[in-house]
Amino acid sequence: MSFTPYLFFVGTAREAMTAYQGILGGQLDLVTAADMPDSPPDAPKDAIMHAALTLPNGSMLFASDDPSATEDKGKVGFSVSYSAADPDEAARIFKGLADGGETTMPLGETSWSPCFGMCTDRFGVPWMVGVDPME
């Protein structure tokens, strides 16, 4: 089990994550909308769909541009990202978090995970639940 901060930017994810890498060090990996076969059709091809900054101590910071965002550029959103050990654990965790809340992306297979979904729990906290791909 692990928890990772996941930040959502309005068009500035690349700039922000590059700055964080300069400040914190580590390895930065960026995936653009052009790199993903199932990215939203209205997303700019250079939009960051997923950024992962692996820090020297092994901890991580994730981010992306939010193509559905309409807020001012100064606003940053967030989700709590939970990495489950397997799809069964992901389903159990997702069901518990979504109970009384709202599912924004049903749990299912994606191009980046064998099992991934998003919901907002009954307390208003947005969650991303997934299983890391097998390597």
What is the CATH superfamily name and number for domain 2-131?
2,3-Dihydroxybiphenyl 1,2-Dioxygenase, domain 1 (3.10.180.10)
Give the residue-averaged pLDDT of 82-103: 91
Summarize the confidence of residues 81-106 as an average pLDDT.
91
Q: Kind of pairing, strands 116-120 and 77-84?
A: unpaired
The pLDDT of residue 54 is 95
What would the two tokens of residue 3 be?
């928890």
- What per-residue confidence (pLDDT) applies to 71? 56
Residues across the chain: 135
Give the residue among 133, 134, 130 at the shortest CA–CA distance from 3: 130
Reported as a single tens digit per residue, the pLDDT across 19-64 is: 899 988 899 999 998 998 887 777 888 989 999 999 888 889 899 9
